[in-house]
Structure 1
Amino acid sequence: MQTKPIETQAPAPGDAVAGGVPITSVRVMYPDLHGVARGKDVPIGEFDHAIEKGLCFCSAVMGTDLRHTPVVGGDEGYPDLIARPDLATMAPLPWEPGVAACLSDLEPAAGGAPIADPRGAVRAAQERLKALGYAPIVGPELEFFLVARDESAPHGVKRHLDHLSMVYTVGPQADPGGLVRRMTEDLATLGLEVFAVNHEFMNSQYEINLRHADAVTAADRAFRLKSAVKDIAALNGLVATFMGKPFNDQGGSGTHLHVSLNRDGANAFDAPGEPDGVSPALHRFNAGVLEHAPALMALLNPTINAYRRIQPDSLAPTHANWGWDNRSTFIRIPPERGGATRLEIRVGDGAANPYLAIAAVLAAGEDGLRRELTPPAPISGDAYRAAEAGPALPSTLEAALDALDADAVLRGALGPEIVDTFLAVKRFEIERHRAWVSDWEIDEYLHHL
């Protein structure tokens, strides 16, 4: 990833400067299984020690739910994992003067058992495809909502900052105060290759576009974008959420993945002499993703809420299918050819962990390549109501988890440390949800029954 690095050896305080401000702390980060940024801030004078020894964390952070319950880890005695700064990802944070940030590589503490490592899973998926002669290229698209804090409002937030029908509208009407534009400018200086921002279809909903890159870099960029957007919003008194469907009267936010493979320096999906200008490799990769679609749903839609947005006419697919430039299908093949020939996997929820989503999609496509699978016929027109729409996707997180549990290919690719921990945490989440009395139930039943 191209960044604007500070010194890779920790200088004396004040020697590293970004924008005229001395770097005084380095934020060392990594993703947990939810995709949440975890880490530590290290004073610049201690950073050499962090480079040499790494930073210790309780590995149970990977098995902890979003209510801070350590679901997995107790049986092993809550051992450590080690985060080692990846100096190639170092960059100063424009929105926090004096702070630089870098990602980290994870490993178990000395003598420890293997650990769940989302970033390592993408690297492993990339290496497996490299062994087949391919280099995966990924372009993530992430959508999010911005809402204002209001302690008197439900859930502590006041909803919309703008008006309906602002999609593709630019300027202060669509971006009050220019905050999202400034986010985009700051992220561009971070080396994330942000190239555009637009208002999306819903109130106060935006999408910041990232250029495509190798799989690990793409996952890193998506992770850093999500963390940065939430931090910048917080610094401005707002809340940014990538939650898939936060409002009943609004559509949802997605994580779309554009995927291609390079071979010998050229796009391996492009084939001008073949029907529709695409290669057998594209069809096989496509078929592999569709083959594993039920299990992929657990990682692309990893929350109970995510399944609220998967419904007809939502621009989120309901069946495992594909089509030529068809935004109602699970996989869309955009019309561009040449170096831009690619698949777009459209089902992902905004809350998806980009590392797990990318690693799983690449593993599914790899299986299609290895087995030379053939996809079904493409869907034309309305894929929600097509006579041969394909297999219905899991409609609940519980069903998707069961599919992941039974999928030997994804289990083998991601490893038991990730899959078993993920399943345990998410099934615990489902049980908590099952026991919780919701606002809907009160409104529906309290006065009548």
Structure 2
Amino acid sequence: MAAKNWIETLPEAARAYLEGRRLDEVECIISDLPGIARGKAVPAAKFARQDYFHLPDSIFYQTITGDWSEAAGDEGFIERDMVLKPDMSTATAAPWTGDWTLQVIHDAYDRTGHPIPYSPRNVLRRVVDLYRKQGWTPVVAPEMEFYLVARNLDPAKKIEPMMGRSGRPAAARQAYSMTAVDEFGPVIDDIYDFAEAQGFEIDGITQEGGAGQLEINLRHGDPIRLADEVFYFKRLIREAALRHDCFATFMAKPIADEPGSAMHIHHSLVDSTTGKNLFSGPQGGDTDAFFHFIGGLQTHLPSVIAMLAPYVNSYRRYVRDSAAPINLEWARDNRTTGIRIPLSGPDSRRVENRLAGMDANPYLAFAASLAAGYLGVIDEIRPSAQFRGDAYDSEEAIPRDLGAALDLFEDAKQMHEILGPEFARVYSIVKRTEHNEFLHVISPWEREHLLLNV
């Protein structure tokens, strides 16, 4: 580490966490394609002496099951080392550990100093840089939905809601109930404590419609910083749940008869020089950029659904009349549309993408959504007319399974240029491999209904 007293340069929350204490360990981490933290834990003294560390590029070729895809390229599967450099602005506590530990997110480069094109954080930075070259600053605000469920050690067993403080399983259909939130009080207390130790500001926490389903909203800000926070939050929430004999799951559809879990993404666009919201005109009205951004989402989101809904389970969330969109309609203050314009004043006018699932990698979900909006503004794409009424009565407009979504993704050459052609190549191969792995699995439904009846 170049700075002699590097701890003095840490973000304020990390310094406060370590005040009067001796740092034991630093977890050097990076997100793989699914969003799993990969890396190394090193003694603090060693971290202070190192400017980088190495991991093989093959971590980006693995499927969610841990198997390998044939994505290594022309040179073959040689597992070339990447150079991973710390972004010290991301240094934060790991407050659930038994000793005093920090986490630091790293960026991935090749040996010549070029960003690894299929590292998710680099993909998002590539898209954000396109905005900045236009003099625009993209702003996002994510909403994170997840379930607290009973421990599940047998994959053949159905997932069940966790037991609340009352001794009864978490109740369904209690959206916004404070009593329901109180059922998870000890877990929520730890979530707040961990978030405070890590320097994260929670904008709110509510009970959602599912049994044991909660939503946490984060304050709006820079897309890369917010993706880092969602990446950290998934780990934080899991650790808080484990302290109370339950699991936190970010599956898009963990329980058959309950709503799915989304990661709604709110977008706005700011002039980098003036700080003005580019979605609002001088008199507070909607601008062309506002409509073009919506048009971009309507036109290009189908081609990146495979990034917003990355697993076979993701598509179980897109069910008519089940609190998840099945369309690309847009409307103001209408939660049945895939693209919603929340109530707001002109300064905070924003566009909400309701298609992304909570199982998506936040870096890739933000990149996909921002890329679609960017193409809309650049190409001046006009949206359809605002939808009136219940959009579940409209026609379905998104792929219904991962295979169909990957077909659209692989054909979207314009989108590949925005996200990076090499990323698109690797992502497609990994997801195809994953999909094929799933197709080899015989489900309980098939055994129950087909074994003796066909």
Q: Distance between the aligned counterparts of 1:82 and 1:175, measured in 2?
A: 46
For the 8 Å contact 2:115–2:122, the answer to whether it is kept is no
**Partner SS state of residue 96, structure 2:** coil
SS of the residue corresponding to residue 213 of structure 1 reads: coil
- For residue 291 of structure 2, what is the aligned residue in structure 1? 283
What is the distance in 1 between the residues matched to 2:387 and 2:100?
A: 53
2:61 maps to amino acid: G
RMSD, matched Cα? 2.4
Report the more deviating stretch, 344-353 or 430-439: 430-439
Following superposition, the deviation at residue 26 of structure 1 comes to 0.8
Does the CA-based 8 Å contact 1:6-1:92 persist in structure 2?
no
Match of 1:106 in 2: 108
Q: Are 2:262 and 2:358, in contact at CA under 8 Å, matched by a contact in 1?
A: yes
Change (3 A) 1:235 1:227: same
Q: Does 1:401 align with 2:411?
A: no
| In the alignment, structure 1 residue 73 sits paired with structure 2 residue 76 | no
* SS of match in other structure, 2:230: helix
Corresponding residue of 1:92:
93
Q: Tell me if structure 1 keeps the 8 A contact 2:264–2:356.
A: yes
Offset, 1:448: 2.8
Match of 1:270 among 266, 280, 289: 280
Q: Is the 8 A contact 1:141 1:257 kept in 2?
A: yes
TM-score (norm 1): 0.90
1:240 maps to amino acid: A
Change (3 A) 1:446 1:211: same
1:129 equivalent in alignment to 2:131: yes
Aligned pairs for 1:325-404 within 5 A: 325-386=333-394, 389=395, 392-404=397-409
- 1:230 has 2:228 as partner: no
Give the Cα separation in 1 of the matches to 2:114 and 2:220: 36
How far did residue 378 of structure 1 move?
1.1
State the 1:303 CA deviation: 0.7
2:414 counterpart of 1:414: no
What corresponds to 1:209 in structure 2? 217
Separation in 1, partners of 2:17, 2:130:
40
**1:58 corresponding residue in structure 2:** 56
CA 1:113–1:150 in structure 2 vs 1: closer, same or farther (change >3 Å)?
Answer: closer
* 1:431 lines up with 2:436 in the alignment: yes
Structure 1: stretches of 5+ with no match in the other structure: none
Q: Does structure 2 retain, via aligned residues, the 8 Å contact 1:363–1:409?
A: no
TM-aligned CA deviation for residue 408 of structure 1 = 1.7
Any idea what the Cα deviations from partners look like across 1:309-336, whole Å, max 9, x if unmatched? 1011122211222111111111101121
Distance 1:152 1:273 in 2: 59
Please list the CA deviations of residues 120-178 of structure 1 after superposition, one character each: whole Å capped at 9, or x if unmatched: 12222111111112100000111111112254684496533312233222257643352
Give the Cα separation in 2 of the matches to 1:172 and 1:376. Answer: 39
The whole-number CA distance in structure 2 between the counterparts of 1:139 and 1:241 is 21
Aligned residues: 434
SS at match of 2:381: coil
* Residue 338 of structure 1, CA deviation: 2.3
Matched, 1:251 2:250: no
- Residues 76-125 of structure 1: per-residue CA shift (max 9 Å, x gap): 41111122111111122222241111111111235899441211122221
Of 284-293 and 232-241, deviating more is 232-241
What per-residue deviation string (whole Å, max 9, x for no partner) do you get for residues 326-356 of structure 1?
A: 1111110112122210000001111011101
Q: Distance in 2 between matches of 1:173 and 1:122?
A: 34
Q: Secondary structure of 2:264's match?
A: strand
Give the Cα–Cα distance (whole angstroms) in 2 for the partners of residues 21 and 306 of structure 1.
43
Q: Is the 8 A contact 1:171 1:178 kept in 2?
A: no
Q: Which amino acid counterpart does residue 59 of structure 1 have in structure 2?
A: D
Partner SS for 1:405 = helix
**Structure 2 residue matching 1:292: 3-state secondary structure:** helix
SS at match of 2:67: coil
Paired position in structure 1 for 2:142: 140
Tell me the amino acid that sits aligned with residue 435 of structure 1: H
Equivalent AA in structure 2 for residue 270 of structure 1:
S
Note closer, same or farther for the CA distance 1:186–1:381 as it changes in structure 2 (3 Å cut). Answer: same
Q: Is the 8 A contact 1:184 1:196 kept in 2?
A: no
1:26 is matched with 26
CA offsets 1:50-90 (integer angstroms, 9 cap, x no match): 3x2x1111111111011111213381411111221111111
